[in-house]
């Protein structure tokens, strides 16, 4: 997969050479590039913003730098692309979106700054995403977070591809509690079921605890799921146990 980011602050992306993403870059599983679209400005002061027509607070990103950066990108890398605009008006990014985008060969992120974009920039865009109902200074942090969520789903990026399938949100539920050695620490014990080697019971415990954690912390996720009869049974047990605590 190739990911290009159009940004005014390319140095902000230094963390993308670290951790799992850094290893993906080293193994050529991901090609990640940042384009400083200030280089496509049209005046000696390299302005990329201007005041809005009709008046109003703040400055807007001008269309020319972003259009021309995209022109060069398309010329050097022809082919289909998903062009993503980071914008509060976009649909909320989630794990399902990460899975969908992980199947694409080429993604382009456009990171805004200032008060907003010239509306014509949206004609370049295939998708608009927001990370939530809050405002950041620019789109760079959002692009990094989305890149991390997407790239870790690419085959071979994680040391064990099964890890991604057990993450929170992959099956619509929050992830179950996990433990490692020692079995007892400061009076806190690892649940006995995880130590007995019975994988059928372990899987049932994990599903039940996922349901418990989701019911307690994110009941909105449960409302969107089509639970199996076994999951309904375990959820009813969870609810009864919680009421009796």
Establish whether 226 is a catalytic residue: no
Annotated binding residue 132: yes
Is residue 135 part of an annotated ligand binding site? yes
Establish whether 154 is an annotated binding residue: no
Give CA separation, 19 vs 155, 158, 162, in Å: 16, 10, 18
- 136 annotated as belonging to a binding site for a ligand: yes
Q: Tell me if 112 is assigned to a ligand binding site.
A: yes
Q: Is 161 a catalytic residue?
A: no
Catalytic residue among 65, 87, 152, 231: 152
> From the candidates 10, 52, 88, 177, which is the catalytic residue?
88
Burial of 139 (0-12, 13-18, 19+ CB in 10 A): buried
Is 88 noted as a catalytic residue in this protein? yes
Between 195 and 165, whose confidence is greater? Answer: 195
**Tokens at 8, concatenated:** 């005014």
Does the annotation mark 64 as catalytic? no
- Given the residues 64, 68, 148, 167, select the one marked as catalytic: 167
Write down the pTM of the prediction.
0.85
In order of start, what are the domains of the chain with their CATH numbers?
2-151 (3.40.1280.10), 173-244 (1.10.1270.20)
pLDDT tens readout for residues 77-134: 999 999 999 988 899 999 999 999 999 999 999 998 877 899 999 999 999 999 999 9
Read off the pLDDT of residues 51-71 as tens digits, 9 standing for 90 and up: 999 988 889 999 999 999 999
User: Tens digit of pLDDT for each residue in 133-157?
Assistant: 998 989 999 999 999 999 999 999 9
Q: What is the pLDDT of residue 162?
A: 56
For 9-42, how does the pLDDT look when each residue is reduced to its tens digit (9 = 90+)?
999 999 999 999 999 999 999 999 999 999 999 8
């Amino acid at each position: 997969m190739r990911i290009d980011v159009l940004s005014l602050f390319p140095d902000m992306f230094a963390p993308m050479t670290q951790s799992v993403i850094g290893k993906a870059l080293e193994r050529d599983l991901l090609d990640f590039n940042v384009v400083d679209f200030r280089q496509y400005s049209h005046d000696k002061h390299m302005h990329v913003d201007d005041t809005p027509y009709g008046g109003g607070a703040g400055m807007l990103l001008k269309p020319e730098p972003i259009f021309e950066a995209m022109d060069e990108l398309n010329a050097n890398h022809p082919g289909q692309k998903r062009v993503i605009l980071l914008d509060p008006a976009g649909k909320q990014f989630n794990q399902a979106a990460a899975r969908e985008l992980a199947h694409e060969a080429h993604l382009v992120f456009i990171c805004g700054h200032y008060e907003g974009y010239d509306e014509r920039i949206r004609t370049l865009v295939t998708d608009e995403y927001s990370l939530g109902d809050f405002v950041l200074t620019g789109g760079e942090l959002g692009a990094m977070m989305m890149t991390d969520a997407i790239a870790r789903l690419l085959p071979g990026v994680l040391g064990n591809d099964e890890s991604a399938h057990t993450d929170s949100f992959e099956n619509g539920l929050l992830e179950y509690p996990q433990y490692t050695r020692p079995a007892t620490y400061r009076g806190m014990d690892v649940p006995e079921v995880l130590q007995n080697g019975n994988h059928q019971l372990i899987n049932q415990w994990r599903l039940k605890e996922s349901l418990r954690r989701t019911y307690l912390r994110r009941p909105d996720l449960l409302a969107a799921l089509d639970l199996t009869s076994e999951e309904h049974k375990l959820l009813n047990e969870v609810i009864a146990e919680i009421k009796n605590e």
